[in-house]
Structure 1
Amino acid sequence: MPARRPTLAIIGRPNVGKSTLFNRITRSRAALVADVPGLTRDPKVGIGRLGEAGYIVVDTGGIDETSDDVLAGRVAEHALAVARDCDAAIFVVDGRAGLNAADELLAAELRRAGVALALAVNKAEGLDGALVTAEFRRLGIAAVFAISAAHGDGVAALVEHLTGSWPPASSYLAEDDGRTRIAVVGRPNVGKSTLVNRVLGEERMITYDLPGTTRDSVDADFERHGRAYTIIDTAGLRRKSRTEGVAEKFSAVQTLQALDRAQVVLLVLDARDGITEQDVTLLGMVVESGRALVVVVNKWDGLDADQRQRIKSELDRRLRFATFAEIHFISALHGSGVGDLFGAVDAAAAAALRTHKTGDLTRLLEAALAAHQPPLVRGRRIKLRYAHMGGLNPPTIVIHGNQVDALPGSYQRYLENYFREALGLVGTPIRLELRQSDNPYAGRRNKLTPRQQAKRRRLMQHVKRKK
């Protein structure tokens, strides 16, 4: 089993640019950020995308109340707890506002925590790095970086300093041992453990009708019709007082770690609640991870015809960015529809792990271009030349061409849908990687033939006589 991803915390006063830095490091949009309620402000959790390492980023968000004085109490205590639980922390300060007493208080607490720490002096664009960081060196943090989270200046070096020795992202992916690994994710109390119990045919998971309790991932191996599976349930219960740390209490962290180890995800929704914001957030996390997906709408048996039609319409509207996923309506408690899930899981896993020949992909690319040409850029047509496989789970198709950086997002989505439909990929997202074709003659001078050289000499002599 792969080790868990390390966590990187972003800590600081309000309005110093923590959220901007979080978005820069995770390369995320707000809709794909996991908001976990229960703190002064909701923390955000995402996968780090800067650097080669695989890690989870936690933006503590709410290290403030209405004034900096509160840092001496509960808020500073919360920051310290987050820092102790994470593997490294970025302490963000405002380079334009300058150093204040709140920064000094928080820095002292973070130093005592003993966590790997770097100081990010933000909003340093257009300023001299040495000058803007000078007064902050009084905080006693050895690693100091002048950055601009908004523009990206200095962020890569900051992240590399803290994560450079961490294992690469590939080391956390599911092992290929012939088993299909299924992660069961969803909000508290939607019926995840009941579904797992139904699949396993035994009371392997303790189930309570109490939402919000802290959960560990629990694995169970089983076989069905000669196929081997491992089911990863993120709803194994334990008492809150026995959790090991603040970051591990975030269900989003546990979900991300479960996604690392899975090939297929069952996202469980509660039909009685409809589609909540947290459901959409979890769906965004799954889509961003690239894992194959089956959407499971539980407690379907308790709805009348009008309620069922309303839920189906809501699914069509709110899950529009995951149309590749099959949707199944079940009752985990009574077992109706549960058996059909395995066909969807097998189909999604097969699609996510299927390889395709370069010739086939290139012919499909040519057909897509013939049906709908790329747009013109500065009067020139974008040229896409050939395609080949670039990875599995999710299937990644690499397309080579000219001016690919200018290819609009709408046309990229057209290509994704075209490839998905033509290849019959059901249950898995597809990713495109665009690469600029190299000019094989760049930097090379044409070698003239003897006849061309003689003609060149005659032209040169003619020009000289005219002078």
Structure 2
Amino acid sequence: MASEEDYTPAVEDDKLAERLAAISEDEAEARAAALRAGLEDYDLDDEDAALLSLQDDDDFETPFVPAPPALAIVGRPNVGKSTLVNRIIRSREAVVEDVPGVTRDRVSYDAEWNGKDFTLVDTGGWEADAKGIHKRVAEQAEIAVDEADAVIFVLDGLVGATAVDEAVVKMLRRKKKPVLLAANKIDSSAQMSEVYPLWNLGLGEPFPISALHGTGTGDLLDAAMKALPETAQHGGLIPLGGPRRVALVGRPNVGKSSLLNKLAGSERVVVDNVAGTTRDPVDEFIELGGEQWRFVDTAGIRRRQHMASGSEYYAMLRTQRALDKAEVAVVLLAVDEPVSEQDVRIIQMAVDSGRALVLAYNKWDLLDEERRYYLEREIERDLGHVAWAPRVNVSAKTGWHKDKLAPALTTSLTNWEQRISTGRLNAFLGELVAAHPHPVRGGKQPRILFATQPASRPPKFVLFTTGFLDPGYRRFITRRLRETFDFTGTPIEVQMRVREKRKRRK
């Protein structure tokens, strides 16, 4: 029976790196080739053959391209802006609920129409005399217009232009941006008579559309593409394939939006003391450490999925989607509260998603000596399984140590993409197993025949063996891989393929 305990070497060996360094690349490749040839004596399937045919990848430079133009969607609350966004991006990504004010922040999506790429910006409802959080929502919509290259102004075609709509028109005139007027909820030609009075707004021809059914949206987008320039006036240059994508995650009210605002150098995201203010993921291009990053500020993950409802439920699902789309996760934890089950679960979500990882401890400026003592023990007890993740102590409120974030992100991403050559990997395992062989179980001692790294992002290793390796011994190999090759900031996966010797025909 395999032991669940960690494998502990009888004698600690601190000379492994030294012995490995003494092996030349040519010698390492020759050893690996001999081990690979030895596999021909074992029963291998088609998947094995595909794995073994992979070559060590070469690095390449990422070219830069101009950012695509931005098209903002604005209007008063509950006129169907997010429904139109979903229609344009052909996905149910924007939060839609039959109550006003579901979208609060400005939210960016990658979009395409007739071969032209652009960034679509959804905004919260604009109200001229808004108070409290609604005032900040209106401010976000106005900033979105400032940074857009063209604007679609959506109003309810069946209601007509209200006093709030006319206030939006005045704001748009001040901005001097190309504006397309969309009269939404027009589902039939019989309703066209409701559209004609909208000419009086002075924004040109109104486009009758039904965001829900898609009627008229093609004509609207054709006109929008003519109004958009080829590249964004505010976007600058981005790496081909986009800047590195960072998912900012954590439980509600730990300061994710405040940190994003501090990094962006502006009041970019609606911040309110009510937990769960952020519902949509909000993309922001941020200059950090001399490099551009694409941050996604995500909705706080609720305690249990069944406790969330409506827009909160869908926002939580999109938090997982943000992780899936990201390359690196920054998990924010509040140091003035004990490390919670939620914190551990969110970190595990990031690890299970296979993302590079950085742990950011917020509100560090509020920490006294007694709390620091207990925090360190909580981290050791509850987060020991991610001791490999870089740790950054920050204050989202003051911006203290925000400059430490970029090096941590870079370290995690570099190691997340790291590939160990087949020769070097097998040389490492040869030296490790020679010094610390697998324990004998039931009179048998499994051997490692050959190893390869078929993937990075995150790094995955496959070991061809003659028998099952104890879980404790696999963890020992994983730990020594980390120490030897520095996989700080990335999960790594070690898989086994147990293969039997081919029976010789008589």
Where do residues 38-57 of structure 1 align in structure 2 (5 Å cutoff)?
none
Separation (CA, whole Å) in 2 of partners of 1:3 and 1:199: 31
What is the match of residue 447 of structure 2? 383
Task: Normalising by structure 1, report the TM-score.
Answer: 0.53
TM-superposition CA deviations, 1:134-166 (whole Å, max 9, x none): xxxxxxxxxxxxxxxxxxxxxxxxxxxxxxxxx
Structure 1's 250 and 187: CA in aligned 2 closer, same or farther, altered over 3 A? Answer: farther
Separation (CA, whole Å) in 2 of partners of 1:195 and 1:343: 17
Give the stretch that moved more between structures: 277-286 or 245-254.
245-254
Structure 1's 362 and 176: CA in aligned 2 closer, same or farther, altered over 3 A? Answer: farther
Task: Normalising by structure 2, report the TM-score.
Answer: 0.49
Please state how far the C-alpha of 1:292 moved relative to its aligned partner.
1.0
Where do residues 2-21 of structure 1 align in structure 2 (5 Å cutoff)?
none
TM-superposition CA deviations, 1:203-237 (whole Å, max 9, x none): 11111111144611111123334423111110499
1:349 aligns with 2:413: yes
What is the match of residue 201 of structure 1? 265
Q: Is the 8 A contact 2:263 2:286 kept in 1?
A: no
3-state SS in 2 of match to 1:339 = helix
What root-mean-square deviation, in Å, do the aligned CA atoms of Structure 1 and Structure 2 show? 2.8
Give the stretch that moved more between structures: 344-353 or 407-416.
407-416
Q: Is the 8 A contact 1:193 1:235 kept in 2?
A: no
What is the match of residue 493 of structure 2? 431
Please state how far the C-alpha of 1:245 moved relative to its aligned partner.
7.2
Where do residues 253-402 of structure 1 align in structure 2 (5 Å cutoff)?
253-402=317-466
Give the stretch that moved more between structures: 202-211 or 373-382.
373-382
1:414 aligns with 2:480: no
Separation (CA, whole Å) in 2 of partners of 1:188 and 1:227: 28
| Structure ranking higher on relative contact order (CA contacts 8 Å, 6+ apart) | 2
| Unaligned stretches of 5+ residues in structure 2 | 1-88, 94-238, 302-307
Please state how far the C-alpha of 1:376 moved relative to its aligned partner.
2.2
The partner residue of 1:249 within 305, 313, 322 is 313
Please state how far the C-alpha of 1:357 moved relative to its aligned partner.
0.5
Structure 1's 177 and 438: CA in aligned 2 closer, same or farther, altered over 3 A? Answer: farther
Identity of aligned residues (%): 34
Q: Is the 8 A contact 1:271 1:311 kept in 2?
A: yes
Structure 1's 410 and 252: CA in aligned 2 closer, same or farther, altered over 3 A? Answer: farther
Aligned length: 268
Separation (CA, whole Å) in 1 of partners of 2:363 and 2:496: 43
TM-superposition CA deviations, 1:411-441 (whole Å, max 9, x none): 11111111111101111111011112363x4
Separation (CA, whole Å) in 1 of partners of 2:290 and 2:336: 35
TM-superposition CA deviations, 1:162-217 (whole Å, max 9, x none): xxxxxxxxxxxxx9825211100001100000111111111111111111446111
| Unaligned stretches of 5+ residues in structure 1 | 7-174, 238-243, 447-467
Where do residues 24-173 of structure 1 align in structure 2 (5 Å cutoff)?
none
What is the match of residue 229 of structure 1? 293
The partner residue of 2:274 within 210, 214, 234 is 210
Q: Is the 8 A contact 2:390 2:408 kept in 1?
A: yes
Letter in 2 for 1:421: E
Structure 1's 388 and 414: CA in aligned 2 closer, same or farther, altered over 3 A? Answer: same
Letter in 1 for 2:497: R
What is the match of residue 9 of structure 1? none
Please state how far the C-alpha of 1:371 moved relative to its aligned partner.
3.0
3-state SS in 1 of match to 2:402 = coil
What is the match of residue 505 of structure 2? 445
Q: Is the 8 A contact 1:218 1:234 kept in 2?
A: yes
